[in-house]
Amino acid sequence: MSIILALETSCDETAVAITRDGEVLASEISSQIALHRPYGGVVPELASRSHLPQIRPLVEAATARAGLRLADVDAFAATAGPGLASSLLIGNTVAKALALAHRRPFLAINHLEGHLLSPFVGAPGGVVPCVALIVSGGHTMLLHCRGVGDYRLLGRTRDDAAGEAFDKTAKMLGLPYPGGPHLDQLAHGGDPTAFDLPRGMLHSGDLSFSFSGLKTAVLYELEKQPQPLTGTRLADFCASIQAAIVSVLVAKTLAAARATGEKVVAVSGGVSLNSGLRASLAAAAAGAGLDLRLAAPALTTDNAAMIAFVAALRFAAGQTSPLESDVDPNLPLVAA
């Protein structure tokens, strides 16, 4: 039995979680979205400074919810990258201090491995070989996962991440930051074929993505409109943007499953909350006889439970990290 306490401060979420043998006992999150909203994006200096006062109350809330004391924790973990350096440093420094104070090991965890394995948190049978699609605000990638720590990159975005494609086009429509969920909401009932928008790299023959062309096309389309889009036209436009992003994500995920022969498809990251993506993936997986594993909604956007889950797997395998280990804003998940 091992109890892990993990901190996640890679971007604009301060999060603390506790797992016992990989089972989530507590997962506390404090979001900074409201803080960054006036700027239309995350301001790194503000993000790092506001993590600090959040951590202690979150640690206390997590231990209280789990019914444990810090002295019961077997190892302390923190996200070491990728992310904002100054934000990563906060969680890392606190986790290392807790490890030192309680004479327990420290584990540095890759944020992307957290997302990648999040569909398996609490799943009977644990982590199984799969094709993994990570779609978040900062990343869009397809990986072949043959087991914990055995990952091969199949494809990634060449420019914007899928979340950025949602957020940047939503911003052009005047929707509040982050725009992805608002665009999703507005797309309900809209006609996804009403506007002809580009499907970046759909026929590229590889598993790479590109969303910057969509951004430009949306801008041109908006400039053509005699007046701001409202009502049904706005719903149609949102549905068309969503379909342009979702169709490429689904097509390439299926192609990745075919290329690897894997039958399990694990989808994670904030964009996996998108209702259009969930529906299309479910239909495509059913049609192709694939076992679709979506991360639980609470584990899609940044959280510490996914970090604790990975730390638990690595700790069980006898791995720990030195206290001298540094954070890395560009920490790769797969060696180049």
How far is 321 from 176, CA to CA, in rounded Å?
Answer: 40
How far is 212 from 198, CA to CA, in rounded Å?
Answer: 10
Beta carbon nearer to ligand KG4, 19 or 242 = 242
Q: Within positions 117 to 146, which residues make up the interface with Zn ion, using CB under 5 A? A: 136
Cis-peptide into 82, omega within 30 deg? yes
Q: How many residues bind Zn ion (CB under 5 A)?
A: 2
| Angle (deg, nearest 10), helices 180-187 and 231-260 | 110
Beta carbon nearer to Zn ion, 83 or 200 = 83
Q: Does 113 bind Zn ion (CB under 5 A)?
A: no
Beta carbon nearer to ligand KG4, 99 or 239 = 239
Q: Which residues contact ligand KG4 by CB under 6 A?
A: 11, 136-138, 163, 166-167, 178, 180-181, 184, 269-271, 273-274, 301-302
Beta carbon nearer to Zn ion, 115 or 314 = 115
Smallest gap from Cβ 184 to ligand KG4, in A, equals 4
* 205: its two tokens: 């023959």
In this chain, which stretch among 52-60, 65-73, 92-100, 295-303 interacts with Zn ion, using CB under 5 A? 295-303
Strand order in the sheet with 130-135: 150-156, 140-147, 130-135, 264-268, 291-294
Phi, psi of 20 (to 5 degrees): -120, 115
Residue of 302, 304, 313, 327 interacting with Zn ion (CB under 5 A): 302
Smallest gap from Cβ 50 to ligand KG4, in A, equals 16
* Those residues with Cβ within 8 angstroms of residue 274's Cβ, 6 or more apart along the chain or in another chain: 166, 180, 184, 242, 246
The item of ligand KG4, Zn ion, none sharing an interface with residue 209, based on CB under 5 to 8 Å by kind, is none
